[in-house]
Structure 1
Amino acid sequence: MANSPYVFDATAENFRVLVLENSGKGPVLVNYWSPRAGPCLMLMPRLVRLATEFGGRFLLVMLNTDEFGRLAREHGVNSLPTVKLFRHGNVVDTLHGAESEAVLRGFISKHIDREANGKYTAALQAWQRGDLDQAVTRAAEAALAAPDDPRFAIDLVKLLILQKRYSRADDLMKSLPREVRQHPEIRNLSVHAGFLRTAGEAPPVATLERAIADNPDDLEARYQLGAIKMAQDDYETAMQQLLEIARRDPAYRDQAGRDGLLAIFSLLGEDDERVRHYRTLLDQTLH
């Protein structure tokens, strides 16, 4: 029907698996249509565009009523086009007519948002009862259900950091949509998770200090030393190394020197004397 991995054609034989069983995993939208009805032909490309836009957060299933009229009548369809949203084997919402793309997006979004919020609530409940593994699982499901909403990703990252799964938290943030990665709290969390991951994988401090003494432009050694010092709450030394990185190569590790300093500033607060001092030095370095 359409060149999309999220759009399928229904038949009497595959409807149970395609729609009813899959609706136990996530929302399934069934479009009841006829090639003889003009409004159906207007609606179809709008639905296909939205299926692609939502990227698998719902499945779109096309049911041709000219071929499977009996199946449509069993579902109470008596006008075309009709769109029904299935969840857990049941119809949970219905839309009639060739609605605009904006109306369709709102119709779909309210169910996906409800899905994400339900999973997020389950994550909070699991965390409150001390089941951190379950909390992470549910928070991950919420983040997948609403990848453009930074709230779910932020709390998932925090839970992973609590579990000391720094590599997983770091990888997760790198996989987020670019717009979400630019959220200030996500940027700070990303820096912290990256530091904690690097600190856990870095060579001993003495080895790094020798490497820097031998080659002051060894920015990786400086970054690793800064990460270790930050993990040890030695923010002064961490900021020294990050400032040197910003001075020597502002673009290193996607502006790791600047972003690392900003993350520490956020952690310590603007009233901290060290923050005022290093912010001035950073401004001088960048300008």
Structure 2
Amino acid sequence: MSERPDSPCILSADSKNFDSRVLENSHQGPVLVNFCSSTATICSSLSPVLEKIIHVCQGRALLVNIDVEADETLARNYGVISVPTLKLFHRGEVVASRHGYQPEEAVRRLLDQYMARESDLALADAVDMYVRGEQQAAYTAIAEAVACDPDNPRLPLTLCKLLRHEQRYAEALKVLNSLPDYHAGHPEIRRLHDQLTFFVEYDPERDRASLEARLSGDPGALETRRQLVAHHVVSEDYAAALQQLALIIEQAPGFEGGYASLAMRRLFNLLGEQHPLVLEYRRYVR
């Protein structure tokens, strides 16, 4: 899979130039990496589809082809076990993976979540309004942008981050819960959603010391532990939150329909799969 000299948005890469062509460029816009093989028929079928999509993107995204037979190291490092495998890089990280042949519409929708759009300009203006203290005007501008471009996930994401800033957690969570599936699967939206599920349970009137004092007298007060988990997450003390969730699972795994296991998975998503705390507490979630 060689580079197309007539297309600056379609490149090839190997271990030597991967950082510059993929990781560095992904801070400017999405980079779709196609792990492929020149000997695989399915790869030959997918390549023109990808090239067509990138051409339509008009410089807002890159396609980088990596021949797994020529560079096994990159394939191994990124867990590629079959071709074609697509990995989308954004801001230096893999934000999505797809395996096998992909329909054109599916790839377009995936890239659309990360490419700059006209509505992003309206979003930037709205954020400026918010910073100037024009909160209501900012919210109105974002709502109008959503109406014009409902496929841009950065619009509801930013809206909900502003609501979170104002501690309007329930409103923000309601917005996220109303999003279509193709937005709900966006990594940043998923993380914000998972964070807000703890924030809505946070009660500032019940301070941490009083919750801990009650638990010292009644270790089986599971609802109190749940409140303490929320306090820990809001203060970003994730180790303490996971410890409380582990205690709930040990005492009553079925509490509130398996609350602790679900909450633990949400914290795993916030922290990232390779975080030391995730590796430590993974055994509690099957």
Q: TM-score, normalised by structure 1?
A: 0.47
**Structure exhibiting the larger radius of gyration computed from Cα positions:** 1
In terms of fraction of residues, the more helix-rich structure is 1
